[in-house]
Structure 1
């Protein structure tokens, strides 16, 4: 993490400032970066708008959880975590999570009705995607980790991270992703055989997105 960035930050970041920092993430980079991953997942599952909203909420919970953990680690260990993320640890996590989500869609199973209860484990991929995508290094995250490191306390860092995540959860994804699910559902009306191909295509796309992240590191 650049020393200049740390030097310009106060030792105590006010709560509104932390929330605004997260909001700047949620309204900009979050939507652009996350939509291909979450949109592919929702489209592949053939979800209704309501079910897609539930998966989006789980995805955002993964993000809030990640920022809470990151803030706590930064508060306890200082600048080590930022250095690890800059060394591509975050990109590796994103690649692995996306590939596993794609494999989840490709596994041999009978798709459940979108409006019915979710099968065991179906919430894990969107949560993992949300958690992993939060590890990608960016300016707002770097500023958060610098403030958490300066706090010197794990609990204070975790609290900062959680509040940052609440701000980042204010994102157009909560509207856009259900629309993607609704479009997918309309596409399947009268075309029951298309569901399997849509699921396989989305699974393959997620695997390709994951592998692309990993191959760029080679």
Structure 2
């Protein structure tokens, strides 16, 4: 995919995410690798109205090469790309159900959501919780870099998910799967629930490796 196509895909996916209520206002951001650089949505941009020509282009050092000022959370994307160099796209949202789960006090911080469905195991897998940091606090980058070495998705406490993928489509699909699983988790809370067991999860991981 060339730069023009990638810019248009970011705008298209952003509009789809916004139109389906997975983000709102100017929250959330999307990035994708372009060689050793990244394209990322600009700061204070509504995901439903991304102008492909104004998407920020950053060098590997994080410095702006062209486009508008990048999202103030660009450092999250850069830190995850450092720990997961084979991933080609990242989606960060403030999606309602995922954020709700990130605020719960009784979740396992090493893996927040249980294996409710096969597709969650296949597309998301392990979801560690990263403790709360104020918005824009760049010390969060170190925590993301450490946790994402072992997981393609992380959940920021009282904030939202950061999800990587081997393509932009894969990152978006995993983000959607995470949000639906968070919704199921909250709907099932307090109910006697049958989750996938360790053997079933292991079989899925073997049949559908990352």
Query: Which is bigger in relative contact order (C-alpha 8 A, separation at least 6)?
Result: 1
- Report which of the two has the higher share of helix: 1
| TM-score (norm: length of structure 2) | 0.26
Task: Select the structure of larger CA radius of gyration.
Answer: 1
